[in-house]
Amino acid sequence: MKNATPPPIPKPGGAPVKNAVSVRALDVTLDGTHVLRGVDLAASTGEWVNIIGPNGAGKTTLLRALLGLVSFDGEITIDGLSDRRRSSRARKVAYVPQTPVIPPGMLVADYVLLGRTPHRGVFAAETANDRKIAAEVLTRLDLGGFGERTVQSLSGGERQRAVMGRALAQQADLLLLDEPTTALDLGHQQDVLELVDALRRERGLTVIATLHDLTLAARYGDRIAILAQGRVAETGPPADVLTVQNIAEYFGASVRIVDDPDGPVIVPTAGAGRDPVAQNGDQP
Amino acid sequence: MSDQPAGRADVVLQASGLRPGPLAAGLAAAVIAVLAGLTIGPVDIAAHRVALQLLDGLPGVTIDSGLSDAHAAIVEQIRLPRVALGLLVGATLSVSGATYQGAFRNPLADPYLLGIAAGAGLGATIAITSNLGDGAGVLDPVPLAAFAGALISVTVSYVAGHLGGRSTASLILAGIAVASFLTACQTYVLQANSDAFRQIFAWILGRIATSGWSEPALMLPYFLVTVAVVLRYRRALDVLAVGDEEAAALGLEPRRVRMIVVLAASLGAAAAVSVSGLIGFVGIIVPHTVRLAFGTSNRLVLPLSVLFGGAFMVLADLAARTALAPAELPIGVVTAFLGAPFFVLVLRTSRREIW
Ligand SMILES: Nc1ncnc2c1ncn2[C@@H]1O[C@H](COP(=O)(O)OP(=O)(O)O)[C@@H](O)[C@H]1O
Ligand SMILES: [Mg+2]
């Protein structure tokens, strides 16, 4: 997959692109805490938007709102979704949670097949087609021989891929990833994000992900939104959003930014202003 | 994510389910337990004659089993109803326990988690101490009061648990609070009527006792409803294993599923408790043994709990009535006495991670 050359994404600006998701004036209050305040966000079909922001900013809550897991004020529109049934939504939106629940004793094959739940219905057995899709997903994720293992017995990276496999088996148009790389080493981080990117190009998936690694967020996203204290503080192309000032302001971090052909590289510094390269990043 | 050898995606992927092997094992266990229950007793009757006698009882079949009329009567009128009740009670308590464990994602959950035992105990205690008369069978006030007490306590636990935040933890805590309260009430009633102590204690320890077919007939509809509902939801319970939030993201309505299966399991458990008293341990030991032996998917745990639970109870009852014959041990004592060491053995030998 790494050596495959994916076709380019259709450039925005040509034909008007439909919004796969749009969020307007989203307010969420959890147990008296005003977690999201007037969030506006949109992602066009096939776009990859990364949401970054400090811990507690409300990233997970935003994804949960998109999944219909929390009650909210405001408006969330998901392309092609008209009724409010959970099963309809689950056919449109797939989710990789930040800390997935690993069911004791469940086999990887059964776990990935859970992704077919919204298609088969709660009472029906999975069809041959469901099994075929799950098998393809497992192969695609390099988990081909793991079907009979328990999810518990997998390593961190294998587990993360199994969770990803369950989401991919849903065959939804919109993929929500909550810190999908946190448990992974660098190689596996890349593998997972490359896979998502490849699938996005093949199937026109729309991806909304939260990521802590800003360099990865810049490399894999079309657009970045900074969420801070429940508001969207900045949104735009990675190079515009990932500035030294923004990172200082919203993350309280001192960094310098190295321009690389593949996008900005964010390097933490021990103290601000000591390295002349930091000046480059200051003026994008 | 290296290149895959071509054709790997064609590998057939199997979902967990009730395979013929485990199903045959469960059926064999049930058949052996039934034959043992019908054969062994103060008079030993040959198993093949018992089998023939049973076949003879089927509509349209006439076989001479070679049993004397007296022995045939022992098999058909004394042992058969008792074995049938053991099967129904054991199967219901086991499948209810398996359901509770799945619905609450808690290995320690048993059918008494939401106060069924305490509620039934209080109901039975009130019925016994207030001498409501002793109508037999359907009109016997003790099981009726126990049944009412069990259902009331589950309902109160459910409502209180939902008021307390709708999480499974709040539901379990509500069940514990309700159970403690009802047990305190029961203790109070007991203190005030110490002459009824023995009778109440005997009820609490449980028994598989029958007077003809009225008890199994009473139990049968509840067994059928519980098993039908719970088995229908076996796949939903597997989805629920990833927790409410992820299950909801997969299109399930977790709280609705939990409410339906828990109420169905509670109904069966309440009926079992009201005919047989508080038989402990079955609801935990049988489902876990099935998980250790065959796997954790509810698609196999639920149906196999029905078969193995029924078999276990029939064998436990056999031990209860033969170990100190002619005296009978309380069945609750036997289930724990036989069940605990067996379970430790299974735990030691199984290499499966079940929880
Ligand atoms: N169920 C809840 N009740 C109350 N506050 C919550 C709840 N869930 C999250 N929060 C609060 O909402 C804020 C945002 O949380 P979250 O969306 O998880 O942030 P992030 O994913 O960006 O780290 C945090 O301050 C958190 O404490
Ligand atoms: Mg988060």
Phi, psi of A15 (to 5 degrees): -65, 145
Residue-level pLDDT at B1: 43
A169 to A96, A127, B82, B244: CA distances (angstroms): 12, 13, 50, 19
Residue of chain B whose Cα is closest to the Cα of A166: B250
Pick the residue from chain A with its C-alpha nearest to B229.
A123
B249 — pLDDT class (breaks 50, 70, 90): very high
Q: Torsions phi, psi of B119, nearest 5?
A: -65, -45
Work out which ligand 1 atom sits closest to the CA atom of A179.
21
Contact state of A125 with B235 under an 8 Å Cβ cutoff: yes
* Residue B27 parent element (H or E): helix B20-39
Cα(B291)–Cα(A263) distance, integer angstroms: 51
**A207 has a pLDDT exceeding 60:** yes
Q: pLDDT value at position A279?
A: 43
Largest pairwise CA distance in chain A: 64
Please state the rounded mean pLDDT for residues A95-118.
95
pLDDT at A263 over 90: no
* Beta-sheet strand order (sheet of A174-178): A93-96, A174-178, A206-210, A48-52, A223-228, A231-236
Ranges B268-277, B294-303, B334-343: which has the least confidence: B334-343
Residue B6 pLDDT more than 50?
no
Ligand 1 pocket, residue A230 CB under 6 Å: no
Are B13 and A135 in contact (CB < 8 Å)?
Answer: yes
The pair of three-digit structure tokens given for residue B71, joined into one six-digit string: 């022995």
The residue to mutate among A50, A55, A60, having the most atoms of ligand 1 within 8 angstroms of its beta carbon, is A60
> Are the beta carbons of B253 and B265 closer than 8 angstroms?
no
Q: Average pLDDT of chain A?
A: 88
> How far does B2 lie from chain A, in Å, by closest CA?
6
Cross-chain residue pair B249–A69, CB shorter than 8 Å: yes
- Find, among A17, A85, A76, A5, the residue nearest to A45 by Cα: A17
CA distance A140 to A162: 11
Three-state secondary-structure class, residue A15: coil
Beta-carbon neighbour count of residue B30 at 10 Å? 21
- Model confidence at A17, pLDDT cuts 50, 70, 90, reads low
Q: Using the mean position of ligand 1's atoms as its centre, give its distance from the Cα of residue A61 in Å.
A: 6
Determine which of A128-137, A141-150, B134-143 has the lowest per-residue pLDDT on average.
B134-143
DSSP state, residue A236: E
Average pLDDT value for residue range B41-59:
86
- pLDDT, one tens digit per residue, over A42-86 is 999 999 999 999 999 999 999 999 999 999 999 999 988 888 899
Least confident of A262-266, B39-43, B128-132, B285-289: B128-132
A87 CB neighbours in chain B (<8 A) are: 251-252
Could you give the CA distance from residue B96 to residue B264 in angstroms, rounded to a whole number? 8
φ, ψ for residue A209, nearest 5 deg: -130, 150
A170 touches chain B (CB under 8 A): yes
Whether pLDDT at A283 is above 50: no
**Which chain B residues are Cβ-neighbours of A132 within 8 angstroms?**
9, 13
User: CB B331: neighbour CB atoms within 10 A?
Assistant: 28
Please give the residue that has the higher pLDDT: either B93 or B15.
B93
Is the ipTM higher than 0.85? The answer is yes
Atom number of ligand 1 nearest to Cα A62? 17
Task: Compute the nearest-CA separation of B331 from chain A (Å).
Answer: 32
> What is the mean pLDDT of the segment spanning A164-188?
92
Query: For residue B5, is pLDDT > 70?
Result: no
DSSP helix/strand/coil, A191: helix
Please give the average per-residue pLDDT across B81-108, as a whole number. 95
Q: Which of 325-354 (B) contact A at CB < 8 A?
A: 352-354
Q: Give the CA-trace dihedral at A125, A127, A130, A134, to 10 degrees.
A: 80
Tokens 């935040």 — which residue? B165
Lowest mean pLDDT among B6-15, B225-234, B287-296: B6-15
pLDDT on residue B139: 64
Tokens representing residue A97 in the block: 């949670």
B302 CB near a chain A CB, below 8 Å?
no
Residue with the smallest CA separation from ligand 1 atom 6 is A30
Nearest chain B Cα distance for residue A114, angstroms: 6
Closest Cα in chain A to B236: A122
pLDDT category of residue B306 using cuts at 50, 70 and 90: very high
Please answer yes or no on whether A114 and B295 come within 8 Å at the CB atom.
Answer: no
Range with lowest mean pLDDT among A11-25, A26-40, A152-166, B73-87: A11-25
Q: Which B positions 234-253 lie with beta carbon below 8 A of chain A? A: 235-236, 238-239, 241-243, 245-246, 248-253
For the cut 70, the answer to whether the pLDDT of residue A182 exceeds it is yes
Average pLDDT in chain B: 88
Q: What are the backbone angles phi and psi of residue B43, rounded to the nearest 5°?
A: -110, 125
Strands A206-210 and A33-44, by their bridges, are unpaired
Contacts of B237 (CB under 8 A, 6+ apart): B99, B102, B103, B257, B261, B298, B302
What is the model's pLDDT at position B7? 44
Are the beta carbons of A143 and A165 closer than 8 angstroms?
A: yes
pLDDT(A280) > 70: no
Residue in chain B lying closest to A131 (CA):
B13
Collapse the DSSP code of A148 into the 3-class scheme (helix H, G, I; strand E, B; otherwise coil) and give the result: coil
- The Cα A72–Cα A70 span in angstroms is 6
Does B354 have pLDDT greater than 80?
A: no
Taking the C-alpha atoms of residue B271 and residue B143, their distance in angstroms, rounded to an integer, is 8
CA B295/CA A225 separation, integer angstroms: 44
pLDDT digits (tens, 9 = 90+) for A223-250: 999 999 999 999 999 999 999 999 999 9
* Ranges A180-184, A185-189, A270-274, B80-84: which has the least confidence: A270-274
pLDDT of residue A274: 42
**Percentage of chain B modeled with pLDDT above 90:** 54
Sign of CA dihedral A61, A66, A71, A76: positive
Rounded to an integer, the average pLDDT of A268-283 is: 53
> How many other C-beta atoms are found inside a 10 Å radius of the C-beta of residue A95?
26
Nearest Cα residue to B49 out of B24, B13, B74: B74
**Amino acid occupying residue A63:** L
Does the beta carbon of A61 lie inside 6 Å of ligand 1?
yes
Q: Taking CB atoms and an 8 Å cut-off, how many pairs form between chains A and B?
A: 133
Residue nearest atom 1 in ligand 1 by C-alpha distance: A30
Say yes or no: CB of residue A272 within 6 Å of ligand 1: no
